Amino acid sequence: MSVSEVRDGIPALMARLWRYALVLAGSRDHAEDLVQATCLRALERESQFTPGTRLDHWLFSIQRSIWLNQMRASRVRAGQGLVDAVEALSLDGAHEIETNIAARQVLAAVGRLPEAQRETVLLVYVEGYTYREAADALGIPIGTVMSRLAAARGALAKPAAPPPQT
């Protein structure tokens, strides 16, 4: 039954929904509200979910559309603007264990990317979307996915040592 597939599948996907929400909304409070709205919308529409297809991708697309169509505009209207993503994409707590240091650096670097690149990086490099899937999820041509990722890589790359003078 699709009904239980959606309802039962949601809790295991919450952490991933939240992290995507954080990339979209840029603050933990808004991320949590966005996840909640997404889960409720998914329940309302569970009859539209095709059993056996990717529940995670389906939920992500609901979340994205709620963010774009409802929350994003109201946040901007409320004068809150969009929070600095560098701040949002950071790890809590003081445990400066080594894995977290690396993670902090990566998150901060992704947080400095422009919004569109940041979301594309999340979908492709974190969530494992193919270019095609990302293009569909974002409603953009596949070429735009490629150029966003190329630009993100360009921004994240360490410049190589200058070529030897000849």
Partner 1 sequence: MSLDDDTLLTRHLDGELDRAETEKLKARLAAEPALARRLEELKTASLPFRAAFDALAEQAPVERMTTRFEAAIASRIAPARRVFPWPAAAAAALGLLVVGGVLGRLTATQEEDTWRAAVADYMELYTAETFAESDASTLQKQLTALSDGLKLKLDPGALVIAGLAPRRAEILQYDGAPLGQIGYVDADRPIALCIIDDGEPDSGQSVAERDGLSLVFWAKGGRGYLAIGKAPAARLAAFAEAARAQLN
Nearer to partner 1, 24 or 39 (CB): 39
Q: Does 126 bind partner 1 (CB under 8 A)?
A: yes
From the centroid of its chain, how far is CA 107?
12
Q: How far apart are the first and last CA of the chain?
A: 69
- Tell me the backbone φ, ψ of residue 15, rounded to 5 degrees: -65, -40
Nearer to partner 1, 77 or 158 (CB): 158
Inter-residue contact 95 to 52 (CB < 8 Å)? no
Maximum pairwise Cα distance, the chain: 69
* Cα separations in angstroms, 87 against 19, 34, 108: 14, 18, 8
Binding part of the chain for partner 1, among 49-57, 58-66, 72-80, 158-166 by CB under 8 A, reads: 158-166
The residue within the footprint of partner 1, chosen from 4, 50, 130, 139 (CB under 8 A), is 130
HEC string of 46-91? HHHCCCCCCHHHHHHHHHHHHHHHHHHHHHHHCCCCCCCHHHHCCC
Q: At its nearest, how many Å lie between partner 1 and the CB of residue 130? A: 8
Judged by CB under 8 A, the chain residues 10 through 69 that form the site for partner 1 are 10-11, 14-16, 18-19, 22, 32, 35-36, 39-40, 43
Q: Does 76 bind partner 1 (CB under 8 A)?
A: no
What's the angle, vertex CA 129, arms to CA 158 and CA 58, rounded to 5? 140
Site string for partner 1, 85-114 (x = CB under 8 A): ----x-xxx-----xx-xxxxxx-xx----
Q: At its nearest, how many Å lie between partner 1 and the CB of residue 151? A: 8
Residues of the shown chain interacting with partner 1 in the complex, contacts defined by CB under 8 A: 7, 10-11, 14-16, 18-19, 22, 32, 35-36, 39-40, 43, 89, 91-93, 99-100, 102-107, 109-110, 121-122, 124-126, 130-131, 146-147, 149-160, 163
